[in-house]
Structure 1
Amino acid sequence: MTAICKPATVTEAIDAGQPIFDAELRPHRSLSPRGFLLLMLAVCGISFAGGLAFYLAGAWPVIGFLGADLLLIYLAFKINYRSGRLVERLYLTRDRLTVRRVWPGGRSRAWEFQPYWLQVVFDEEAAAQERFDCPLILRSHGKSLMVGSFLTRQERGEVASALRAALARVRQPCRPATKVQSVRPSTSRIE
């Protein structure tokens, strides 16, 4: 997972458009592009050596199957890397939580929730017991949305805790601004 969580600043956001919580969630890919290149070179080398041995033994049709294996390994990794381009962004302001999901093909969709009624549903007990059925769900007014399905249980728990803390700050009653009174001296006259 690559989660970039920016919690609220110390000062409370007064403006409704100012961000209180901003998190970008991305799936984790453990093999870097350089690692992928090295892996493919190693697999090609092994396939070439095996293909040469089979060719010298007179079993030349095996070379085609080794080539097909190489192609399938390459395609499987490319599909995996493509799915790794999924992005979910959670953006909380005083008046709304916006969840924007961008799929690998570029298609995007946004959901908006009113933060005062929003429930962040995550079962910490299920996560502690290492059960797999502990999704992170945002629920409000009969709508629900599962976010971070590609994250680990621990990462979903961290996002849930950070989002709950930000929602608690949003739900605090606004303190009225101190009224500045203008004082005019009694001797002043308008001429």
Structure 2
Amino acid sequence: MTHGALYMDAEIKPNRSLSERGFIILISVITAANVASAAVFVRMGAHWVLPFLGIDVLAIVVAFIASYRSGRIIERIQVSPGAVRVTWEGPRDSRVVWESPTAFTRITVEKDEEDRVMALHLALSGRETPVAAALSPGERGEFAKALEDAIWRARRHRD
């Protein structure tokens, strides 16, 4: 970002509570349960159950792989006197998903009945983009305050 000093340079990384070891244990338990079920059904003569139980395990593995892959994408929010920029950074590439002049960028916050921040958006001229979706409502509320403060300070920046 070449728009001056940074008032915020935040990285938001999705949390994955199941470690690789935990994933292996979970898949092992699911596989063992499916093998036991398959043995019972095959003994009863229901041989077509076996492929469906295999597909079941495969579907779970594919879902976890997709989840872990999406967990490697980092959302970076940068605030400078000139611009607010949001980029998604993956292991192989990076792309800007939002850039707007700091002076005109607004923050919109959606709250639920219990005053928790359910969604946070950057807005400009009728368009908007969600930010900090990977955070919990409490963390998102704290982030909204920090982002508002960073934008406020960047607007008052003097060269």
Category of TM-score, reference length = shorter chain: 0.7 to 0.9
1:161 matched to 2:148: no
The alpha carbon displacement at 1:35 in A equals: 1.1
Please give the TM-score of this superposition, normalised by the length of structure 1. 0.69
Give the number of the structure with larger relative contact order, counting CA–CA contacts within 8 Å between residues 6 or more apart. Answer: 2
Partner of 1:129: 114
Partner of 1:115: 102
SS at match of 1:101: strand
Separation (CA, whole Å) in 2 of partners of 1:114 and 1:160: 18
Q: What RMSD in Å do the two structures reach over aligned CA positions?
A: 2.8
The alpha carbon displacement at 1:56 in A equals: 3.0
Partner of 1:29: 16
How many residue pairs get matched? 158
Deviations for 1:48-97, whole angstroms, at most 9, x for unmatched residues? 12222223333333222211211111112222222223321101122221
SS at match of 1:17: coil
The alpha carbon displacement at 1:160 in A equals: 0.9
The worse-fitting range, judged by mean Cα deviation, of 37-46 and 149-158 is 149-158
**Sequence identity (%):** 34
Separation (CA, whole Å) in 1 of partners of 2:91 and 2:36: 36
Deviations for 1:142-172, whole angstroms, at most 9, x for unmatched residues? 4422222343322221211111111222233
CA separation of 1:154/1:75 partners in 2, compared to 1, >3 Å: closer, same or farther?
Answer: same
Partner of 1:85: 72
SS at match of 2:102: coil
Please identify which structure carries the higher strand content.
2
Separation (CA, whole Å) in 1 of partners of 2:113 and 2:140: 12
CA separation of 1:171/1:51 partners in 2, compared to 1, >3 Å: closer, same or farther?
Answer: same
Please give the residue correspondences for 1:2-13 in structure 2 after superposition, counting only pairs within 5 Å: none
Separation (CA, whole Å) in 1 of partners of 2:24 and 2:126: 47
Specify which of 120, 123, 143 is matched with residue 139 of structure 1.
Answer: 123
CA separation of 1:21/1:56 partners in 2, compared to 1, >3 Å: closer, same or farther?
Answer: same
The alpha carbon displacement at 1:19 in A equals: 1.9
Separation (CA, whole Å) in 2 of partners of 1:171 and 1:137: 18
CA separation of 1:68/1:27 partners in 2, compared to 1, >3 Å: closer, same or farther?
Answer: same
Please give the TM-score of this superposition, normalised by the length of structure 2. 0.81
SS at match of 1:135: strand
Unmatched 5+ stretches in structure 2: none
Point out the structure with max Rg over C-alpha.
1
The alpha carbon displacement at 1:20 in A equals: 1.5
The alpha carbon displacement at 1:36 in A equals: 0.9
Moved over 6 A (4+): none
